[in-house]
A and B are shown apart, each in its own frame.
Chain A
């Protein structure tokens, strides 16, 4: 009997623990049924297609308008769509902005606009009032000038702020390099394009694109079909149809090899890496689900995805590293990357590239595929909690012309994906050898990335994706003034201030005759130029050709007056031009900049061109911007680039290069000067040079008789 009790108690005890074996993973209950009904769109008289998802859980209704007009280039007004999108919400012709805002807020409603439409949402009880305002927006936005001006001004600030936002910098540059200059997705709004946008442009944009026959209205919430019909009739049917727009094809530049792009963000403690290329994948394409599975294994949001597991959980390079493969009607894209501390930036690139290669070359594991399928199935089911998901499915179905059961059979399609299909899809869509590596970060790490580039070179970009030159820091103590002074002394071949003074006394006038061959015209240009202390200048051009001699151009200034003759046009200096001429400039004008309040001089840094280092100095006055390049070793001016405007206010560029400095009677001057004027190249070489103690040339007064004679004999 006693024994029996003991056995009983043991059974009881073990029973108690039996239900508590914590090492056993609980089994799932039977799978819940996932119901999904995709509503059919209703089309109204003006072409507006309406999608409604009834959901009576909360007393709320939302209206999302999406105008699906085809993409077009915005060109020199890139950004006009975004300005339009903002201005669309700035009041209507019947209700000024302040009153409009007040009315929206009073209902506790949400109303936000963007280039392709708006999102409006409120409690059900406010729906009619909200739609009344929405109708006013459809029938006639106010487009007030002062709001336009404000939005432009704020956009200027926002553009300036991009410099501190690594994510936007990365997005901009990625778009530019992926899609190129001839694709709407490669366009980025800049200060220049923003400045070009006018209110008229915005109105035209509205007129042309904001039309119901390209639009979808998505209604979600506590509303019935009858209510939808009557609301649409009352508030949306008066919206006038426009001229339907055709879509255009755009080409993207093919990626050739791996290309490294770097954007400098001073002070960055992390690098934003984006490894990316375009993908030809349209929404609903049969490969899309496979690629979603592939991406989920490579760099989806879960901890077990390869990128996160390798770069975060194993190597601790980052807080997050993800990839994406997205479809798009024009062109899709692949991206992979994240934020990484400076020291591991190059290591992170190595690992990400390796993961892209691995998933392209080696079949995924069964366990990985199984895990991802389960996780994606769950995510799909969870997404249905939000009624906006079903609405999105319905919108996609009609927009992309998907089979009506595309989403209803989504999970079956997902289940059928095999690892063999994944490797095929990877080889077709991923291009591990041809891609763009975009890194935004501290410039210290930039050159470490050169090895990844097909040409071994890092292409530096600004945050709009425009090319920038990489400058090195100048050594301490070097200033623009010291560079100018050094150049001046070298020119005078002087080693101290006393020598400068004596040299200037001995060499008050320089006369030069040089020659350039214009082979295309079988012509020779002979140029006489003269300069003298402290501001006298003269130049005379004679063109010799089989057709005879011809005077090209004359210019003179005697210190107080002057002028020029170019063909039939005679100019006598006066006003500002005269004052400008009066400024001292002998023998080099650089040394006078420091006393000239109208000139701003900036030493930008050291620019390296074909392994030669140059100090790069920017000189800005009211007329033009000049970039000058001084050889760091010799101190001599080697090149100047002048950016100005011509009479028609068009931008002009003149590039002058100096070479073969030689001694001419105690002065050190260039033998060769090449002038590139808007693509037209003149390469002058000095024939003779005369340095005089006295100023005696008559050319300064416009008398070129002697000069003409001398040149004519040559």
Chain B
């Protein structure tokens, strides 16, 4: 008996060694510019393309009450143009170069990217430096994008069956933390945004020490570094950046009023100053001449300090939606992304619903036929997040029945250790996912930035697999008990809206 299990152990070790050998290390270089921009570069010449990405650490959690949806709205405005790029041409530079571009906003960060032929790297750097340094937002753009964003909300949330489930969960799962609203925000708040909000938001969050420039693809690292120096290292920070933007965007009168204490009145009213301010003088030269000692010290970025821990009492509610099939969503509070339990929680959700042999799919969907589909996924965030079990009921199934069936599967995991075979299955799935994850340059650039921004450890792109592999059967049971318990959850039933409403 003993010998046999010992042999088993050896076999297990061997398979781990094999997989370690197969794993390719992903190389990259990373460094900080003096102004605080973090740079990550990955060189890969397989295809002549390059992904230029900027991850700003600002998302809906940095919004104020009454301005929900602002970070995402602002992201839309960041395509409007800059001092040197006319309205409606930002995208044309990219498309004319044979590239594509887009952006997205989450609770925690805003991510911009250009995918370009590799000979257009410099263009991508120029475009992103323009966006960081002096993005220009005009009223016509604001009003247009306000409506566009509202259409986006209608399309993705309001007119989508079950489309509101994230919104409905988050607003109940958090009492204090800004995670209580989702990045799309509310129609009223989108309507409420005024010019001052844009200026403040840009100055607070679109600053060098709040962004990671991550580039992956067919690049020459030393050439890329030179260009990055040219376009990004020269971007000022702190007070100097504010003056820079004021020189470009304020009228002479407004500028003079704002800086009357810092520049002698005699100078401000002089024809030379007026000429320098409105004339062809570059802003760099202008700063050099009038503000040689302006501080470049980064201004500290305000961030929410509230941390909402586990829930202490179940929250339960019913949502009536334009749907035909009922659904049950059960959301549990989980720790922040950087917590060691992140890995076990993720494996728990895979155990529940990844693959046809998973607990929910095999039992609740196939054997008991209570649901047409069941998913389970973690939603880790920088601050404590949630994990969600969600199932859409088969026709005629009572949601309470469905909830019980899901709960029964969770209970089984809490009370009975999973088998070795099941743990190995999860490990194999993770290995496969991990190998597949870094198959595109865009994906690699984003992953590198994610690891750095969220966890402060870019090297996780190579080592995170080990953290999953270290998770034990007992860990999975423990996190099931700790987090997937009935006091720590929001339960929502989605029911068809009664007709006539």
Contacts and interface: CB of A to CB of B under 8 A. Distances in A.
B154 A105 contact: no
B358 interface: yes
Interface stretch (B318-326, B450-458, B476-484): B318-326
B362 interface: yes
B209 to A, nearest CB: 20
A596 B472 CA distance: 65
Contact of A160 (B285, B395, B435): B395
A140 interface: no
B144 A104 contact: no
A32 interface: yes
A30 B119 contact: yes
B148 A319 contact: yes
* A-side interface size class: 35 or more
B431 A123 contact: yes
Given A20-B284, A106-B424, A26 B122 contact: yes
Nearest to A35: B48
B92 A32 contact: no
B115 A382 contact: yes
A545 B193 CA distance: 86
A313 B144 contact: yes
Interface stretch (A150-158, A560-568, A664-672): A150-158
Contacts of A32: 48, 117-119, 218
Contacts of B337: none
Contacts of B97: 28, 374, 378
Nearest to B87: A313
A102 B117 contact: no
Interface in B250-275: none
A371 B91 CA distance: 11
A379 B95 CA distance: 9
B366 A379 contact: no
Interface in B284-310: 284-285, 288
Interface string A26-67: 111111111000000000000000000000011110000000
Contacts of B230: 19-20
Nearest to B433: A108
Given A22-B133, A375-B98, A318 B151 contact: yes
A381 interface: yes
A105 B362 CA distance: 12
A527 B274 CA distance: 106
Nearest to A27: B122
B92 A371 contact: yes
B395 A267 contact: no
Contacts of A26: 122-123, 125-126
A382 B49 contact: yes
Which of B93, B95, B129, B149 has the most CB atoms of chain A within a 10 A radius of its CB? B95
Nearest to A21: B282
Contact of B372 (A104, A154, A339, A341): A154
A309 B431 CA distance: 43
Nearest to A111: B356
B144 A314 contact: yes
B34 to A, nearest CB: 15
B430 A374 contact: no
Given A17-B284, A385-B46, A340 B431 contact: no
Nearest to B440: A385
Contacts of B278: none
Contacts of B325: 157, 160-161
Contact of B394 (A60, A157, A309, A320): A157
Given A22-B133, A313-B88, A374-B97, A270 B151 contact: yes
A161 B118 CA distance: 46
Contacts of A124: 22
Contact of A375 (B96, B125, B436): B96
B435 A60 contact: yes
Given A58-B436, A312-B148, A318-B151, A303 B91 contact: yes
Interface in A112-164: 122-125, 150, 153-154, 156-158, 160-164
B186 interface: no
A298 interface: no
A320 B144 CA distance: 13
A379 B96 CA distance: 11
Which of B143, B144, B321 has the most CB atoms of chain A within a 10 A radius of its CB? B144
B10 to A, nearest CB: 18
Given A161-B323, A378-B117, A382-B49, A102 B357 contact: yes
Given A21-B282, A108-B430, A377-B98, A158 B119 contact: no
A304 B357 contact: no
B404 interface: no
A355 interface: no
B241 interface: no
Nearest to B430: A108
Interface stretch (B155-163, B171-179, B338-346, B378-386): B155-163
A207 B79 CA distance: 55
Given A22-B130, A108-B428, A270 B154 contact: yes
B5 interface: no
B84 interface: yes
A381 B117 contact: yes
A495 interface: no
Contacts of A161: 161, 323-325, 372, 392
Interface string A301-322: 1111000010011101111100
Interface string B372-400: 10000000000000000000101100000
B491 interface: no
A416 B119 CA distance: 23
A650 B159 CA distance: 41
Nearest to B80: A313
B355 interface: yes
Interface in B343-373: 354-358, 362, 366, 369, 372
B155 A339 contact: yes
Contacts of B148: 312-313, 316, 318-319
A536 interface: no
B100 A25 contact: no
Interface string A259-270: 000000111111
B243 to A, nearest CB: 16
B161 A164 contact: yes
A255 to B, nearest CB: 28
A545 to B, nearest CB: 53
B92 A31 contact: no
B96 A385 contact: no
Interface in B107-162: 115-123, 125-126, 129-130, 133, 143-152, 154-156, 158-159, 161
B429 interface: yes
A320 B159 CA distance: 14
Nearest to B84: A23
B100 A382 contact: yes
B154 A341 contact: yes
Nearest to B101: A303
A508 B191 CA distance: 71
A498 interface: no
A303 B96 contact: no
A443 interface: no
A456 B93 CA distance: 45
A57 B46 contact: yes
Nearest to B366: A150
Given A123-B431, A374-B96, A150 B369 contact: yes
A99 to B, nearest CB: 9
A385 B441 contact: yes
B356 A104 contact: yes
A6 to B, nearest CB: 15
A269 B439 CA distance: 39
B462 interface: no
A384 interface: yes
Which of A266, A304, A374, A382 has the most CB atoms of chain B within a 10 A radius of its CB? A382
Which of A106, A108, A318 has the most CB atoms of chain B within a 10 A radius of its CB? A108
Contacts of A19: 230
5 contacts: A31-B117, A108-B432, A124-B22, A161-B161, A320-B155
